[in-house]
Amino acid sequence: MIEPPAIRPPRLPAAQTTGRQVVVFADAADAADEPVDWSAAGISDVADSRDFTSGRVPAQAMRDAGATVFARLGIAVVSAGPDQVAALRGARRPVLSVSPELVHHVLPEDPSAYVRGYRDGVTDLAARLVGAPVPGEEVPPPPAFEDTAAATWGIQAVQATTSPFTGRGVRVAVLDTGLDLQHPDLAGRTVTAESFVTGVDSAQDGHGHGTHCTGTACGPRVPPAGPRYGVASEAEIWIGKVLSDAGSGDDGGILAGIDWAVANGCAVISMSLGADVAEAHPPYSAAGRRALEQGSLIVAAAGNNADRENGGYGFVGAPANSVEVLAVGALDPRLTTAWFSARSLAAPGGEVDVAAPGVDVLSTWPMPDRYNTISGTSMATPHVAGLAALWAEATGRRGYELWATLTQASRRLTEPSVDVGSGLVLAPQEGAGSVRRA
């Protein structure tokens, strides 16, 4: 099959920033020989994640500090002017990059606010090259998965229903809008929750997005009501509220959540959030690599900025477009690419790596609603996070090895790899060659 071209992104409005800077050092602070001389840059009141026993820097401490150091990632967020940044670059400890701190959001299904109307001018040609139907052609649709009384279509598609693995003993961090901490479906589960949002002490979810993602990744094998919707039913749940109840948050809070998850041995970090920035954001390139080196895999949503019904393919945004962050595209019940799911960028790290169910996904929602059905690459991502937990339990693999296992365990699809990467990630089954049993 001839692949359609990877996308070169359209011009977009400038990214939303906070005015602070994110500094990436040449090595992680825990392994550094040379400390940072903050005073030389005129920066005082430094908060360091190593100074907190839980590995969590409180959100207010981050706001009050002139610099916040995420030691395990070798990254700092600083309130600094150009002269101070220049002084940091000239300090003893090498600096790889200094970037504006971005604001991220839960990813909307409707791409109209991003690139609706964007055309690449080759829709029909690309469709013919890959053997796909062109607009106006009548083609019999493939059979579709459906929700049943036993399990949602997504849980069936990834073969979680036939897997003997549950994610037992594996820590999964969901960095999002938090969790309904009193949700009855998660009663009795091991849940550790922290807030990284300034002025918000609790990780309670007042939005819904985080609760939905957590349910998909780690919901029960047999829910009290309705079909099974969760993948890793016995994984340990770690909730980092890094987005406000309005659905937004900055690099500082997100990096704090990653640093906390790595410090606490979370094998999987699920992030259904992003900024519509075509270039890889250096802090996440470093965070992804250093997390992998310490045994933590970051899984992130590719983005919902495509409008395929009108010829727009979008592009993978930050943080998913960093080389060492696993980018997840969305599939519909026919295992075709969702109309909103972003296509790979023509740039290193801008690729969609794998795909998972992301259309009409049923999962938990804050009470009293209890459940909700929504769509997005945000919904595909926790499917993969849960599957990563199953594979981590089944094989004992972590970090880079776990990444390789997920891509190797993916089912190739008829969709172009620029849309679905290695394909649909599947759950480990009893008797598979790479699976171990105690």
Residue range 388-418, pLDDT digits in tens? 999 999 999 999 999 999 999 999 999 999 9
Alpha carbon distance 434, 239 (integer Å): 30
Number of neighbours of residue 293 by Cβ within 10 angstroms? 15
Is the same domain home to 292 and 314?
Answer: yes
Bridge partners, residue 371, by sequence: 364
SS (H, E, C) 268-335: EEEECEEECCCCCCHHHHHHHHHHHHCCCEEEEECCCCCEHHHCECCCCCECCCCCCCEEEEEECCCC
Residue range 302-311, pLDDT digits in tens? 999 999 999 9
Domain boundary among 102, 124, 157: 102
Is the same domain home to 238 and 344?
Answer: yes
Question: Of the residues 233, 344, 378, 417, which is catalytic?
Answer: 378
pLDDT confidence bin for 142, thresholds 50/70/90: low
What confidence score (pLDDT) does residue 324 get?
Answer: 96
pLDDT confidence bin for 8, thresholds 50/70/90: low
Sign of CA dihedral 249, 252, 254, 256: negative
What confidence score (pLDDT) does residue 139 get?
Answer: 47
Determine whether 244 is an active site residue.
no
pLDDT confidence bin for 28, thresholds 50/70/90: confident
CB burial of residue 154 (10 Å; 0-12, 13-18, 19+): buried
Overall pTM surpassing 0.95 (yes/no): no
Question: Of the residues 49, 104, 176, 296, which is catalytic?
Answer: 176
Is the same domain home to 365 and 305?
Answer: yes
Bridge partners, residue 355, by sequence: 329, 424
What confidence score (pLDDT) does residue 112 get?
Answer: 41
- Domain membership of residue 359 (yes or no) is yes
Residue range 51-99, pLDDT digits in tens? 887 888 888 888 889 999 999 999 999 988 878 878 877 666 788 999 9
3-state percent breakdown (helix, strand, coil) of the chain, nearest 5: 25, 20, 50
SS (H, E, C) 216-256: HHHCCCCCCCCCECCCCCCCEEEEEECCCCCCEEEHHHHHH
Output phi, psi for 392, to 5 deg.
-65, -40
Is the same domain home to 26 and 167?
Answer: no
Whether pLDDT at 111 is above 50: no
Is the same domain home to 91 and 29?
Answer: yes
Whether pLDDT at 340 is above 50: yes
- Domain membership of residue 10 (yes or no) is no
Question: Of the residues 104, 105, 183, 209, which is catalytic?
Answer: 209
Whether pLDDT at 123 is above 80: no
Is the same domain home to 45 and 116?
Answer: no
Is the same domain home to 259 and 386?
Answer: yes
Is the same domain home to 116 and 79?
Answer: no
Average pLDDT of the residues in 39-48: 85
Residue range 350-362, pLDDT digits in tens? 899 999 999 999 9
Closest CA to 297 of 267, 323, 327: 267
Closest CA to 385 of 187, 162, 167, 179: 167
Sign of CA dihedral 345, 351, 357, 358: negative
Altogether, the residues listed in the chain come to a count of: 438
Determine whether 176 is an active site residue.
yes
| CATH code of the domain covering residue 188 | 3.40.50.200
pLDDT confidence bin for 431, thresholds 50/70/90: confident
Q: Which residue range is the domain that position 129 belongs to?
A: 111-133+144-425
Whether pLDDT at 120 is above 80: no
What confidence score (pLDDT) does residue 34 get?
Answer: 59
Is the same domain home to 194 and 342?
Answer: yes
Alpha carbon distance 28, 37 (integer Å): 16
Name the residue with higher pLDDT: 209 or 350.
209
What confidence score (pLDDT) does residue 419 get?
Answer: 97
Structure tokens at 144: 């579709």
What confidence score (pLDDT) does residue 155 get?
Answer: 99
Structure tokens at 8: 């070169």
CA dihedral of residues 360, 364, 370, 375 (deg, nearest 10)? -20
- Domain membership of residue 86 (yes or no) is yes
Domain boundary among 102, 119, 154: 102
What confidence score (pLDDT) does residue 127 get?
Answer: 39
Number of domains in the chain: 2
- Domain membership of residue 256 (yes or no) is yes
Residue range 169-183, pLDDT digits in tens? 999 999 999 999 999
CB burial of residue 250 (10 Å; 0-12, 13-18, 19+): buried
Is the same domain home to 88 and 157?
Answer: no
Determine whether 383 is an active site residue.
no
Is the same domain home to 89 and 116?
Answer: no
Alpha carbon distance 339, 258 (integer Å): 30
* pLDDT, mean over the chain: 87
Structure tokens at 39: 């005073």
Contact 238, 266 (CB under 8 A): yes
Is the same domain home to 97 and 223?
Answer: no
- Domain membership of residue 412 (yes or no) is yes
- Domain membership of residue 395 (yes or no) is yes
Whether pLDDT at 10 is above 70: no
Q: Cα dist. 148→18, 105, 229, 309 in Å?
A: 45, 32, 11, 28
